[in-house]
Amino acid sequence: MTSVAVVFGTRPEIIKLGPVIAALGPAARPVFTGQHYDAALIATFLEVAGVPDLTPALPGIGGAGRAGQVALMITGLTALWQESRPDAVIVQGDTNTANAAAQAAHYLGIPVVHVEAGLRSFDRNMPEEINRLVISAVADVHCAATEENAAFLLAAGTPSEAVHITGNPIVEATRAMLPTELERRRVLAETGVGSADFVLATIHRPENADDPARLALILSQLARLGRPVLLPLHPRTRQTISRYDVQVPSRITVIDPLDHGRFLALACSATLIVSDSGGVQEEVTVIGKPLVVVRNSTERPEAMRAGFALLAQPSEILEAAHRLLDPAHLTRLATTPSPFGDGHAATRIAELTLAAISPSAQEPPAPALLRAA
- Here the CATH number for the domain that contains residue 272 is 3.40.50.2000
130 and 181 inside one domain: no
- Is 182 contained in some domain? yes
24 and 102 inside one domain: yes
pLDDT above 60 for 196: yes
Say how many domains are in the chain.
2
User: Which of 259, 353, 275 has the alpha carbon at shortest distance from 15?
Assistant: 259
242 and 95 inside one domain: no
Domain limits at 310? 174-333
pLDDT above 80 for 134: yes
User: Which of 324, 333, 326, 325 has the alpha carbon at shortest distance from 306?
Assistant: 333
- Percent of the chain predicted with pLDDT > 70: 92
147 and 21 inside one domain: yes
Residues 251, 226 contacting (CB under 8 angstroms): no
Instruction: For residue 370, name the pLDDT band (cuts at 50, 70, 90).
Output: very low
Higher pLDDT, 289 or 47: 289
128 and 207 inside one domain: no
Instruction: State pTM to two decimals.
Output: 0.89
SS3 (DSSP) at 100? helix
321 and 347 inside one domain: no
156 and 245 inside one domain: no
Amino acid symbol at 240: T
**Per-residue pLDDT, 373:** 39
User: Which of 135, 123, 51, 63 has the alpha carbon at shortest distance from 93?
Assistant: 135
- Is 203 contained in some domain? yes
Amino acid symbol at 5: A
Residue range 121-139: mean pLDDT, rounded: 96
Residue range 303-328: mean pLDDT, rounded: 98
CA atoms within a 13 Å half-sphere pointing along the CA-CB vector of 333: 24
For the chain, first and last CA: distance in Å? 30
Higher pLDDT, 59 or 276: 276
**Per-residue pLDDT, 241:** 97
**Using CA atoms, how far apart are residues 96 and 44, in angstroms rounded to an integer?**
21
SS3 (DSSP) at 132? helix
Span 135-148, pLDDT tens digits = 999 999 999 999 99
- Is 204 contained in some domain? yes
- Is 221 contained in some domain? yes
- Is 338 contained in some domain? no
- Give buried/exposed letters for 223-246 (b at 16+ CB in 10 A, else e): bebebbbbbbbbeebbebbeeeeb
156 and 62 inside one domain: yes
pLDDT above 90 for 112: yes
327 and 347 inside one domain: no
Backbone angles phi, psi at 197, to 5 degrees: -95, 80
Residue range 350-367: mean pLDDT, rounded: 68
Residues 254, 246 contacting (CB under 8 angstroms): no
Q: What mean pLDDT is reported for the chain?
A: 92
- Tell me the C-alpha to C-alpha distance, in Å, between residue 307 and each of 62, 199, 302: 36, 18, 9
Q: DSSP class of residue 308?
A: S
163 and 221 inside one domain: no
Residues 6+ apart with CB under 8 A from 157: none
List the 272-275 sheet strands across, edge first: 252-255, 229-232, 199-202, 272-275, 291-294, 309-312
- Tell me the C-alpha to C-alpha distance, in Å, between residue 81 and each of 69, 88, 89: 18, 10, 10
10 and 144 inside one domain: yes
**Using CA atoms, how far apart are residues 233 and 238, in angstroms rounded to an integer?**
6
Span 207-222, pLDDT tens digits = 999 999 999 999 999 9
- Is 67 contained in some domain? yes
- Is 31 contained in some domain? yes
Span 263-315, pLDDT tens digits = 999 999 999 999 999 999 999 999 999 999 999 999 999 999 999 999 999 99
pLDDT above 50 for 369: no
CA atoms within a 13 Å half-sphere pointing along the CA-CB vector of 352: 32
35 and 101 inside one domain: yes
**Per-residue pLDDT, 173:** 93
**Using CA atoms, how far apart are residues 319 and 144, in angstroms rounded to an integer?**
33
